[in-house]
């Protein structure tokens, strides 16, 4: 896929701005995308899920009175990043409330609809990313405005009657997603295979397409139906083939406005060195967390002058911008019996949220992922600017297998609604 590198000028300090109702309504069709990206490669007939970690931190140069308005979700079936519009703080709103509530709602729906082999009543079945986000928005109550990016793992697509997992990616605004894969064998470097595009009105870095709920004081023309219209008509949706070992990086504009895509790929490759031959073993969640942290730190470093007082180059000009910065780093892994048992246990104890934050800070964590990964503690992993140091621990063993398959589908369930 072609991967454009954006360049504008000047370091930015000002917030993301709310886009008015009539302005958004008039340009939705310009942003709409409905694409599918099938890979001819075919692997073992098995359901997949995400093992993921997130990290977020406001740029230290941003106002000290500002509250971080980014939100993330890292669950087995759904990953997400949302970036609240900080300008609304001037109207007395908490800009973080809507993005956090919206992603929590998406996570609940994703876990209830997408768990493999779980019986779901037809009225509540997964009907695609657009329907999921619409339902999630309708269940929220918070005022605010936010961009949103979702990656949803759908195991219902089949080729020749066999499972062909797909990642449904939905974008509204200027968060971005980058998918990496070892295209030249299991011992090759990770390469970019898919990348979303930002949705910015008139190309302005401060006016992304967004989902809102505001009162008459903020926008006299606001109609809540516009938010649903933005989701239906303005969202960019892509369905991409997913394989075990794929790496997915989601980030707010605070990341992708400051880091070039090849810098993101390089950071991932420095941390995730090519494995030796053998059976695939999932990456330790601690390492995914370290990669997410480094991506945020490297984004912030772009606003620090280097030799001779010269600011580093970024996609929007030297020095980038000082903003809220959030990253989710996920790996596609097999959904195993251990996952199913952990899910059943979590549901029985009404603790599914702990299981959902795969590799997160909840006490339960993703038991299945942790059981199949190598024993590497957080303290043993040190992702540096130019190298990864791991104390003597056996590295991940991975196997890349494939069989020939034609592109025709018996049943395409990566649905776009």
Q: In the numeric block, which tokens belong to residue 77?
A: 């079936």
For all residues of the chain together, what is the average pLDDT?
78
What pLDDT is recorded for position 297? Answer: 97
pLDDT, residue 221, reads 85
Cβ-based neighbour number of residue 159 at 10 Å: 19
Q: What letter would DSSP give residue 104?
A: H
Q: Is the pLDDT of residue 409 over 90?
A: no
* Exposure string for 55-78, b = 16+ CB within 10 A, e = fewer: bbbbbeebeeeeebbbbbbbbbbb
pLDDT score of 298 more than 90:
yes
pTM of the model: 0.78
Q: Say what percent of the chain tops pLDDT 70.
A: 70
Give 19's pLDDT tier (boundaries 50, 70, 90).
Answer: low
Higher pLDDT, 41 or 245: 245
- Is 202 a residue whose pLDDT tops 80? no
Residue 352's pLDDT is what?
Answer: 53
Q: How far apart are CA 99 and CA 409, in angstroms?
A: 36
Higher pLDDT, 57 or 4: 57
- Whose CA is closest to 261, among 311, 323, 314? 314
Provide the pLDDT for residue 8. 34
Mean local confidence (pLDDT), 14-35: 60
pLDDT in tens, 299-353: 999 999 988 899 999 999 999 998 889 999 999 999 988 888 887 777 665 555 5
Query: In the chain, pLDDT over 90 holds for what percent of residues?
Result: 47
The pLDDT tens digits for 32-67 are 656 655 555 545 578 999 999 999 999 888 766 678
Q: Which two tokens stand for residue 79?
A: 């990953």
Q: Is the pLDDT of residue 410 over 90?
A: no
Q: Which of 199, 195, 194, 192 is nearest to 236 (CA)?
A: 199
Q: How far, in Å, CA of 59 to CA of 301, rounded? A: 9
* Mean pLDDT of the region 23-32: 62
Q: Per-residue DSSP letters for 335-370?
A: --HHHHHHHHHHHHTT-HHHHHSTTSSSSS--HHHH
Query: Which residues, other chains included, contact 370 with Cβ-Cβ below 8 Å and sequence gap of 6+?
Result: 285, 359
Least confident of 135-149, 215-229, 359-373, 385-399: 385-399
What average pLDDT score do residues 357-369 get? Answer: 42
What pLDDT sits at residue 29? 62
Lowest mean pLDDT: which of 117-121, 175-179, 212-216, 256-260?
Answer: 117-121
pLDDT (0 to 100) of residue 161 = 78
């Amino acid at each position: 896929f072609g991967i454009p590198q954006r360049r504008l000028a000047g370091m930015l300090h000002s917030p993301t701005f709310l886009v008015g109702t009539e302005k958004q309504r008039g340009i939705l069709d310009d942003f709409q995308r409905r694409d599918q990206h099938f890979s001819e490669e075919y692997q073992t007939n098995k359901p997949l899920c995400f093992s993921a970690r997130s990290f977020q931190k406001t740029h230290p140069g941003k106002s000290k009175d500002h509250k971080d308005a980014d939100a993330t979700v890292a669950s087995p079936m759904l990953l997400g990043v949302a970036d609240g519009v900080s300008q609304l703080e001037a109207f007395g709103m908490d800009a973080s409330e809507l993005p956090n509530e919206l992603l929590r709602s998406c996570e609940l729906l994703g876990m209830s609809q997408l768990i493999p082999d779980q019986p779901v009543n037809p009225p509540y079945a997964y009907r695609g990313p657009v329907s999921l986000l619409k339902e999630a928005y309708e269940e929220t109550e918070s005022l605010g405005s936010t961009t949103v990016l979702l990656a949803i793992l759908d195991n219902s697509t089949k080729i020749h009657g066999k499972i062909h997992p797909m990642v449904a990616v939905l974008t509204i605004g200027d968060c971005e997603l980058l998918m990496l894969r070892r295209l030249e064998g299991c011992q090759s470097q990770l390469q970019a295979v898919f990348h979303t595009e930002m949705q910015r009105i008139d190309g302005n870095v401060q006016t992304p397409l967004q989902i809102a709920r505001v009162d008459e004081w903020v926008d006299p023309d606001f109609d809540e139906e516009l938010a649903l219209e933005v989701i239906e008509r303005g969202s960019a949706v892509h369905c991409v083939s997913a394989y075990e070992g794929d790496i997915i990086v989601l980030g707010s504009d605070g990341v992708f406005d400051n880091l070039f895509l090849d810098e993101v790929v390089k950071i991932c490759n420095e941390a995730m060195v090519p494995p030796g031959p053998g059976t695939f073993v999932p990456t330790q969640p601690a390492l995914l967390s370290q990669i997410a942290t480094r991506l945020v730190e490297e984004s912030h470093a772009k606003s620090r002058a280097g030799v001779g007082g010269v600011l580093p180059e970024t996609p929007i000009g030297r020095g980038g911008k000082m903003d809220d910065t959030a990253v989710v780093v996920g790996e596609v892994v097999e959904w195993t019996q251990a996952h199913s048992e952990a899910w059943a246990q979590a549901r029985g104890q009404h603790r599914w949220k702990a299981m959902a934050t795969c590799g997160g800070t909840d006490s339960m964590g993703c038991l299945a992922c942790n059981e199949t990964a190598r024993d590497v503690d957080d303290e043993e992993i040190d992702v540096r600017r130019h190298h990864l140091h791991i104390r003597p621990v056996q590295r991940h063993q991975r196997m890349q297998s494939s069989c020939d398959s034609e592109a025709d589908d018996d049943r395409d369930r990566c649905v776009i609604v």
